[in-house]
Chains A and B, each alone.
Chain A
């Protein structure tokens, strides 16, 4: 019996086999979506490039070459994306910048997802005034456009990549809380939750141990769909000079740096923008594909 048959069998012999079979079927459905596969490829490439940046980058991202002869060179074999006004190789900067982008995305996801899950499941599970208060707070955060609120937070905390990440995380959790609450409302009346409660489990244990895992998949899809937005917000903050500070090779800040030369030296601002565009497109394709596979309700 081949692995494939073992996975796709209709009578799984163990719980593990059933679960792996389910995962494999999801993967098969996902694989059929060409755009989603392109997205997955882009995201994997981003992770690889970020991990291997020091080995992949042909030159130093911070220290440039000779200011007299190597400034603002057009793309060539030696500098595939040209050089900037500090005579730095733009390709090397973009490769190193992928680390910052990945860091932002990962940290925002790690900070915002648990907050959203906790607020949403608590509100949905307890209901009543807890629900009202928590959802009212969520609505207040949703009432600001995201970039504007992040701007105000960074203005208060001071510019810098850490503060930009905190600000984006603070503005990211409300939709997750909404979603987790909606899911919890349907889960909390399920029989198995009643059974656990009758066994005397504590509410906190029920929420973390039994409600959160069931909300997780739809929240993860939502977070993936949001990642492109997170990248764009971070790049926007960088462009306004509020994110990563120079000489860090943050893509948005690189565009801002190339803005002055856009008419004569187009590549300085264009190349980092292309990187942002490709990566967010990848996350959008991936999120779209994941939603189609994991969320049958949205499958139309």
Chain B
């Protein structure tokens, strides 16, 4: 996706910006096709016999053969891939062996929980990560820079499921500051009508402030932990972008003009660093999907990550591949979004 920066202005007929956007979309379409190919191939190397998974191991040979043909396993591989492609593009990810429901339906049900968790996490990560990164850049080489660096490295080094367990032990079991695993206490569970599936949003919209507070005290610990991981990345990138900006000549000009130092840092430099930062934030938002698999397992959070691990443990291959594909697609989508934002926000990229 980075090679989009190369084709400059050779295509006179189309405006450069439009051409660039078309190229980005084409490359995303290709990548998505590749994603499908990978999940398809993984599905084919599984040692689990897909026919046995449907008919059970006591079926007669004739039943087995019938299902074998029904599943299209007698056809050549490329034809099977073509059928798979058509099914996926029409929004059919297959049926889960475990829940006996279409996987699309399952994922639509669990997705809001993950979305809510990741969104609160990215808000926390950004709100703390950017100021820390700015601080580290301004005090480059000083003690506070070192501290921010170490805080970031700790975030890169601690297993999130371990921090989650310790967090539950300390803040839930010992100090009683936060609520335990799950999204909300059972007593509130039926008090709010699920509209969007986002607990915080639904309860606030319906004026259920008790439920809102309860949901908040459930989400705050896992979200803070996930947020810490994005904080590590965001603060490191903010630092390097800010250092690049602070070395520019317009900063010297501003200083010579006598602009206040806080204004130079927070307005002049940060505004220019903000463009690449948007990309970084979009990427860490995507990275949270990965962290959510382990976090949701620890916090019994009924989201996409838990759905994926549950399906894994029950050898529900359709659901695993469906979930993998959805996460891959979101990942690609967020990459696309960050590419587009970068192209639209940075006047230098636009003009090239």
Contact = CB atoms under 8 A, between A and B. Distances in A.
B332 A152 contact: no
Given A140-B35, A148-B328, A266-B169, A273 B159 contact: yes
Nearest to B37: A140
Interface stretch (A1-9, A61-69, A105-113, A234-242): A234-242
A188 to B, nearest CB: 17
A152 B27 CA distance: 24
Interface residues of A, number: 47
B293 A151 contact: yes
B174 to A, nearest CB: 9
Nearest to B288: A145
A136 to B, nearest CB: 6
Interface string A218-252: 00000000001100100110011110000000001
A27 interface: no
Given A236-B294, A240-B297, A152 B42 contact: yes
A258 to B, nearest CB: 8
A152 B159 contact: no
B350 to A, nearest CB: 23
B240 A280 contact: no
B324 A262 contact: no
A140 B1 CA distance: 10
A140 B159 contact: no
B195 to A, nearest CB: 29
Contact of A148 (B46, B315, B327): B327
A270 B166 contact: yes
Contacts of B327: 144-145, 148
Contacts of A147: 290, 293-294
Interface string B286-327: 110110011001100000000011001101010011001001
A137 interface: yes
A98 to B, nearest CB: 16
B173 interface: yes
A288 interface: yes
A146 B328 CA distance: 10
Contacts of A153: 42
Given A148-B289, A239-B159, A281-B157, A155 B331 contact: no
A71 interface: no
A135 interface: yes
A241 B149 CA distance: 33
B45 interface: yes
A285 interface: yes
A139 B31 contact: yes
Nearest to B155: A284
B39 interface: yes
B35 A143 contact: yes
B43 interface: yes
Contacts of A285: 153
Contacts of A280: 156-159
A143 to B, nearest CB: 5
A267 to B, nearest CB: 11
User: Which of B154, B287, B324 has the most chain A CB atoms inside 10 A of its CB?
Assistant: B324
Nearest to A272: B162
B93 interface: no
26 contacts: A139-B27, A139-B31, A140-B37, A140-B38, A141-B38, A143-B328, A145-B328, A145-B331, A147-B293, A155-B46, A155-B317, A156-B42, A156-B317, A157-B47, A239-B159, A240-B309, A252-B159, A255-B159, A259-B298, A273-B162, A276-B158, A280-B158, A280-B159, A284-B157, A300-B140, A300-B243
Given A145-B331, A152-B320, A280-B159, 19 more contacts: A35-B150, A136-B34, A137-B34, A140-B35, A144-B327, A148-B327, A151-B312, A151-B320, A155-B42, A232-B157, A240-B293, A255-B162, A266-B169, A270-B166, A276-B159, A284-B153, A288-B153, A300-B140, A300-B243
Interface of A: 35, 135-137, 139-141, 143-149, 151-153, 155-158, 228-229, 232, 235-236, 239-242, 252, 255, 259, 262-263, 266, 269-270, 273, 276-277, 280-281, 284-285, 288, 300
Which 7 A-B residue pairs are closest in the complex by CB-CB distance? A140-B34, A273-B162, A145-B290, A280-B157, A281-B157, A152-B324, A156-B46
